[in-house]
Amino acid sequence: MCRRSNEPSPVAHLGWRLGRIALGLDLWDWTSGTGPLGLDLAFWFRICELGCLRVFSHKPIVVYSENHPEAAASLDTWYRVTRRAGWREFENVRSVFPSVDRVGSRFVFNIAHNRHRLIAEINFKYRSVFVRAILSHAEYGRGGWEE
């Protein structure tokens, strides 16, 4: 039996339905404005607003870790902690990484017991972290990274 071309296939419909379930959209009562666990929409929007930071980009961390294996574990820890952080201001960053310094608009993190430095820009408003450079202590001391 032929299907009409404008009808979705059963497989596509199943995928759409599973996607709605995975996102939790079927748990929302859209008429009363309550979501999962009976909590209101405003609560769930606040949870989303308090979400994690986005780290751009992971590639410099991976490349530097391959060239400097002694820093790999510390860089991975920095990435995992930062990605899950909910920082709103510099004091929040300092509470997690006490040795972080602010140099202009950039933040300098000590990596692997101060043998390496990760330089990043953090935009608290847009909840994003941009990895600008990862340097050894000697490279950092020579300067030139500020530009």
pLDDT attached to residue 51: 61
pLDDT attached to residue 29: 52
User: 2 in a domain, yes or no?
Assistant: no
pLDDT attached to residue 53: 80
pLDDT attached to residue 16: 42
Residues 45 and 115 in one domain: no
**Tokens standing for 2?**
């032929």
Residues 43 and 58 in one domain: no
Distance CA 108, CA 73 (A): 18
Residues 41 and 61 in one domain: no
User: 5 in a domain, yes or no?
Assistant: no
pLDDT attached to residue 32: 58
In three-state form (DSSP H/G/I as H, E/B as E, the rest C), the secondary structure along 26-83 is HHCECCCCECHHHCEHHHHHHHHHCCCCEEECCHHHHHHHHHCHHHHHHHHHHHHHHH
Residues 38 and 84 in one domain: no
Give the Cβ contact number of residue 125 at 10 Å.
6
User: 3 in a domain, yes or no?
Assistant: no
User: 1 in a domain, yes or no?
Assistant: no
User: 147 in a domain, yes or no?
Assistant: no
Residues 41 and 110 in one domain: no
Residues 34 and 66 in one domain: no
CATH number for the domain harbouring residue 88: 3.30.2310.20
Residues 15 and 33 in one domain: yes
Give pLDDT tens digits along the chain (147 positions): 344 445 544 444 444 444 444 444 444 455 555 555 555 555 544 544 456 788 888 999 999 999 999 999 999 999 999 988 888 999 999 999 999 999 988 999 999 999 999 999 999 888 899 999 999 999 998 987 776
Overall domain count for the chain: 2
Distance CA 140, CA 118 (A): 9
Residues 67 and 127 in one domain: yes
Dihedral (CA of 100, 103, 106, 110) sign: negative
**Ramachandran sector of residue 97 (left: φ over 0; alpha: ψ -120 to 50; beta: rest):** beta
Determine the structural domain holding residue 42 and report its residue range.
10-49
Judged on CB neighbours under 10 Å (0-12, 13-18, 19+), 5 is exposed
Residues 23 and 65 in one domain: no
